[in-house]
Structure 1
Amino acid sequence: MSNILEQLYVGEIRPEEVIVPKNPEYRTLNNKISNSKEQLKMKLSETDMELLEETFDLLSRSSSMYSTEVFIYGFKKGALMINEVFANRG
């Protein structure tokens, strides 16, 4: 098996594909979103529904960008903490 740096480099490590929030409201919230979308599909015109789907896609992309930045920030802070721990040994 390759080391973690190799896995990261070749794209074998993809946190966004394996992380599922443990908050019990997560699944409930997603179910409510799906139900709302289904109700809107029945009420909106095809053009309006396309606009809504485009809006959901844009929100998803925005959220993904934000999550990426949060991950990078957290990773860097963690690395800085580890560096500080080793720099202040003894």
Structure 2
Amino acid sequence: MSILEDLYYGNLRPNESMKSCDPRAKEINKKLSDAMQIYQTSLSKDDFEQLEEMLDWVGELNSMHTAAAFVEGYRIGALMMIDVIKHKDF
């Protein structure tokens, strides 16, 4: 199957396979997990659910930003290819 077919059929989902190369990512993820455990035990059930809802909104916003950055990067890459081909000396 070609990459275009994978894209068409929804088999290409880079946001699901991306992992940060930054060594701090694992440490930050652990801190977030630990903090959520503390909040879950110290907040009321309703307050914790509100916190989870807010974090879901942050996640949605981050996803939108990531999608926009992906599209912009793709556009820039395509423009670079056009520029290379356009100015190629044969």
Q: Same fold (TM over 0.5)?
A: yes
The 3-state SS of whatever aligns with 1:20 is coil
Match in the other structure for 1:5: 4
Offset at 1:9? 1.0
**Matched letter for residue 21 of structure 2:** K
Check if 1:76 corresponds to 2:62. no
Match in the other structure for 1:45: 44
Structure 1 gap ranges (5+): none
1:63 and 1:73 map into 2 onto residues whose CA distance is 15
Q: TM-score, normalised by structure 1?
A: 0.96
Q: Which runs of 4+ in 1 moved over 6 A?
A: none
Offset at 1:11? 1.0
Match in the other structure for 1:64: 63
The 3-state SS of whatever aligns with 2:66 is helix
2:14 and 2:71 map into 1 onto residues whose CA distance is 12
**Matched letter for residue 15 of structure 1:** P
1:66 and 1:81 map into 2 onto residues whose CA distance is 22
1:38 and 1:60 map into 2 onto residues whose CA distance is 18
Quote the RMSD (CA, aligned, Å): 0.6
Match in the other structure for 1:26: 25
**Matched letter for residue 53 of structure 1:** E
**Matched letter for residue 27 of structure 2:** T
Q: TM-score, normalised by structure 2?
A: 0.96
Structure 2 gap ranges (5+): none
**Matched letter for residue 29 of structure 1:** I
Q: What percentage of residue pairs aligned between the two structures are identical? A: 34
